[in-house]
Amino acid sequence: MKLDRIDIKILYELQKNGRITNVELAELVNLSPSPCLMRVKKLQSEGYIEGYSAQINVGKLGQTLTVFTEITLKNHRQIDFARFLAAIEKVDQVIECHLVSGGYDYLLKFVTAGIGEYQTIMERLTDMDVGIDKYFSFVVLKSPIVKAHMPLTSLFRL
C-alpha cells in the first residue's frame, strides 16, 4: 500500500487523538465520512495502525522515578545481543529499549517506584550475567516536553 498525503494526515490526527469520531476525522482530512472510514480500516488492515491506547498521567498515580540507562555489552556477537534482549524483555519497568550507535550499545528507559527498585533491577541484571559490561544511569528530574505523537506531516511531505 502506497500512502498519500490524506493517509498521512489520517495517521497524524489519529495518533494525536485515537478517540476522535470518524466524522470529526473526516472533517480534519477533508474527506466525507464513508471514504475516511474506509481509509482508516485499510490502514489498520495493512498494519500502519497497530492499536489504540490511553495515555496515563503516571504522576497522578503516585511517586515514580524515570531513569535513562546507557548499557555497554562485554561482547558484540549476535548471541550476546539476543541474550541481553531476552532478559530485558522480561523487565516490566523497561518501557523503551534502543540499540544505538556511539559509545555504548543500548539506551533503556525505566519507570520504577523509586531509586531502590531501580537499583534492585540493575543488580539483578548484572548478577544474571546477561552480558552487561558497564552501565550509566541518568535520573530524570523533570520532563518539560514529552510528545506522544510523531511529526508525520513534516516527515512525509506528500
Helix H, strand E, coil C: the string for 20-73 is: CCHHHHHHHCCCCHHHHHHHHHHHHHCCCCCCCCCCCCHHHHCCCEEEEEEEEE
Q: Which residues contact 2 (CB under 8 A, 6 or more apart)?
A: none
pLDDT at 148 (0 to 100): 87
**pTM score:** 0.85
Q: Cell triple for residue 127? A: 548478577
- Asked if the 58-139 domain carries CATH number 3.30.70.920, the reply is yes
Fold that domain 5-54 belongs to in CATH: Arc Repressor Mutant, subunit A (1.10.10)
First-residue to last-residue Cα distance in the chain: 15
Q: What is the pLDDT of residues 119-156, one digit of tens each?
A: 999 999 999 999 999 999 999 999 999 988 899 988 88
Alpha-carbon distance of 139 to 65, in angstroms, equals 7
**CA distances (Å), origin 114, targets 89, 126, 143:** 20, 19, 16
Q: What is the pLDDT of residues 72-85, one digit of tens each?
A: 999 999 999 999 99
Q: What is the percentage of the chain residues whose pLDDT exceeds 70?
A: 99
Domain boundaries, the chain: 5-54, 58-139
Mean pLDDT of all residues in 113-117: 97
pLDDT at 158 (0 to 100): 60
Helix axes 5-16, 33-45, angle to 10 degrees: 80
Mean pLDDT of the chain: 95
Mean pLDDT of all residues in 47-61: 91
Residue 157 has pLDDT above 80, yes or no: no
